């Protein structure tokens, strides 16, 4: 009997295999797309993984900047507590000297009484080692002259004040030690993040490292530090146009201040100091005169104008009057991110001067380089 089986054409089996493989690949891609749409990849700590080494470095720099501002705040508190402790300890030393002198005077009085017929029981109690309990004994107080009683009350008051100040000094010393530990902790956090960022950058292949460097430079419009130093007087950075022009415009239709002149003489002086710092290096925890972090630069600049502003970007956000971006003038402080962890100084026409990040130098950047939290006029 003849067979009804069909003879397969050459190559048809291979085509079927290819079709099956293609279908499997499409299904796998669809599954991966579904996973990616549902959730970002995570690192072992449970945080979303950065999309590239450059993204991770940028994230580490941002985290280091937040830790730097916490370090600055803790350092400021430590210095304040140290000054307070020194003042209290000075008062305690002077108070102890005063008490000692009064005790010597009372001892002389007791010696005179002894030579004239015996020491008063009240004075004997006072000088025996626990004078604080003296006035609690009403029966003894009745045997003391009014002059002696007044002197003893002064001694007791001075001793009570001395005890209170010693207790205050002890409490401040505890806070001071806690603040020192906080400073050390934030310092370690900054150093750890910066070291991790350096390792990531150094591990990049040469081409990727060059691309990353170009990307970071693009935040400044491709300008190198000091590239604007040769602009004619009165010219706004990045434009080639003079002062008195109309407002600039940012993406999204936002406008920047139309005024190129600082609002006040002190703002002009601070702005001039910030411009003088162009090209100097970023260094976390530094506030000049040869290196700066972001809030260190703005504090240093206003100090040159004779104005004391707080050390941290968070505190600087509240160091003056808030103004909208459309009314910003040179010298105003531009604070960034929802946690106010970066600050710059407005330079006019949509530009700021700031100390950007480790490895960079003080420079101009666009005012909208980061999400703006607030603008403050000191």
Give catalytic residue positions. Answer: 294, 342, 354
d(CA 364, CA 344): 9
Relative to beta strand 321-322, strand 372-377 is antiparallel
CA distances from 129 to 58, 133, 204, 229 (A): 67, 10, 74, 74
d(CA 355, CA 277): 9
Burial environment of residue 175 by CB neighbours within 10 A (0 to 12, 13 to 18, 19 or more): middle
Relative to beta strand 333-336, strand 372-377 is antiparallel
Relative to beta strand 333-336, strand 342-348 is antiparallel
Do residues 341 and 196 touch, judged by C-beta distance below 8 A? no
State both tokens at 267: 């703002």
**Cα 358 versus chain centre, distance:** 15
Burial environment of residue 124 by CB neighbours within 10 A (0 to 12, 13 to 18, 19 or more): middle
Burial environment of residue 136 by CB neighbours within 10 A (0 to 12, 13 to 18, 19 or more): exposed
* Pick from 268, 237, 200, 255: nearest CA to 56: 200
Do residues 65 and 341 touch, judged by C-beta distance below 8 A? yes
Do residues 123 and 106 touch, judged by C-beta distance below 8 A? yes
Torsion sign (Cα): 44, 50, 51, 57: negative
């Amino acid at each position: 009997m003849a067979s009804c089986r069909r003879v397969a054409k050459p190559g048809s089996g291979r085509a079927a295999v290819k079709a099956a493989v293609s279908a499997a690949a499409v299904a796998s891609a669809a599954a991966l797309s579904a996973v990616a749409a549902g959730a970002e990849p995570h690192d072992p700590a449970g945080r979303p993984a950065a999309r590239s080494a450059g993204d991770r470095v940028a994230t580490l720099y941002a985290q280091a900047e937040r830790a730097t501002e916490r370090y600055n705040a803790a350092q400021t508190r430590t210095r304040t507590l140290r000054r307070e402790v020194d003042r209290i300890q000075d008062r305690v030393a002077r108070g102890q000297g005063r008490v000692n002198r009064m005790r010597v005077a009372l001892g002389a009085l007791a010696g005179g009484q002894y030579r004239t017929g015996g020491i008063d029981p009240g004075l004997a109690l006072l000088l025996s080692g626990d004078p604080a309990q003296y006035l609690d004994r009403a029966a003894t107080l009745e045997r003391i002259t009014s002059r002696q009683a007044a002197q003893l009350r002064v001694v007791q008051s001075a001793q009570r004040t001395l005890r209170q100040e010693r207790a205050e000094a002890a409490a401040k010393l505890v806070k001071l030690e806690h603040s020192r530990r906080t400073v050390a902790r934030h310092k370690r956090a900054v150093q750890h993040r910066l070291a991790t960022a350096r390792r990531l950058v150094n591990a990049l292949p040469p081409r990727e490292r060059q691309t990353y460097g170009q990307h970071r430079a693009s935040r400044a419009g491709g300008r190198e530090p000091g590239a604007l130093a040769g602009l004619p007087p009165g010219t706004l950075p990045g434009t080639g146009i003079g002062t008195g022009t109309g407002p600039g415009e940012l993406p999204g239709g936002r406008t920047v201040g139309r005024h190129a002149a600082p609002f006040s003489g002190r703002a002009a002086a601070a702005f001039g100091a910030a411009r003088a710092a162009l090209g100097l290096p970023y260094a976390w925890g530094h506030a000049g005169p040869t290196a700066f972090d972001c809030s260190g630069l703005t504090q240093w600049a206003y100090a040159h104008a004779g104005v004391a502003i707080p050390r941290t970007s968070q505190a600087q956000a509240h160091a003056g009057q808030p103004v909208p971006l459309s009314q910003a003038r040179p010298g105003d402080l531009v604070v960034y991110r929802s946690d106010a962890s970066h600050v710059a100084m407005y330079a006019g026409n949509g530009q700021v001067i700031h100390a950007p990040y480790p490895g960079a130098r003080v420079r101009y950047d666009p005012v909208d380089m980061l999400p703006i939290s607030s603008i403050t006029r000191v």
